[in-house]
Amino acid sequence: MKSQGLIVAGACALMIAGCTNNPYTGEEQAGKSATYGGIGALAGAAIGAATSSSDDRAKGALIGAAVGGAAGGGYGYYVDKQEQRLRQELTGTGVQVIRNGDTLQLVMPGNITFASGSSDIASSFYPTLNSLVKVFKEFDQNGINIVGHTDSTGSQELNMRLSRERATSVASYLSGQGVSGARISSAGVGPSQPIASNDTEAGRAQNRRVEITLRQL
């Protein structure tokens, strides 16, 4: 058992020392993802050693460390860099950038995206969309899921249609500017997912929004 522990520890040390370049960006890996990669390597090495025969335990630990380290650090570092670029590009635009693990969410309130009751993109919102296009082209390793939301004013049918059309408008603009359509999906959910009370104008304004969620392909 002691030798197994030394094998696993040695495998992890080799993995952590050797993994200096990120597979998604080609840059030297640092920050939070380095920790994630080290944890992944540790877990992978332990599993690799435990599931291998006695003769192949060292080899199993090394393979497990490689797989675990790449999974734990690679995409996490990619998201670190993408989040940094999005925050830089979207400062002062009114768009919120929310990080949840390795998922990024962009919340675009209705007052800066569309006129009331319309699915035509507001002219003042095009510069913000162009900033998104620039980042989405630079970071092209994740899917782009666009969802339109409305408040509860008006009929369900109207709100569902409006939310779908608004999400489609954003998706069409992104693809028209060269973002791969294979990465993009769009949907409308009407008033079914409020983030504030529909009993006040301030709450309804928050519920009228478009959200873009970025996840690993």
How many whole angstroms separate alpha carbon 143 and alpha carbon 136?
Answer: 10
In this structure, the chain runs to a length of 217
pLDDT tens, residue order, the chain (217 aa): 555 555 445 544 444 444 555 555 555 655 555 555 555 555 555 555 555 555 565 655 555 544 554 455 699 999 999 999 999 999 999 999 999 999 999 999 998 999 888 999 999 999 999 999 999 999 999 999 999 999 999 999 999 999 999 999 999 999 999 999 999 999 999 999 999 999 999 999 999 999 999 999 8
Q: Which CATH superfamily is domain 93-216 in?
A: OmpA-like domain (3.30.1330.60)
- pLDDT on residue 97: 98
Contacts of 217 (CB under 8 A, 6+ apart): 141, 142, 143, 183
CA dihedral angle for residue 25, residue 29, residue 35, residue 37, rounded to 10 degrees: 50
Task: Return d(Cα 145, Cα 124) in angstroms, integer.
Answer: 23
Residue spans in the chain of domains classed CATH 3.30.1330.60: 93-216
Strands 209-216 and 142-149: antiparallel
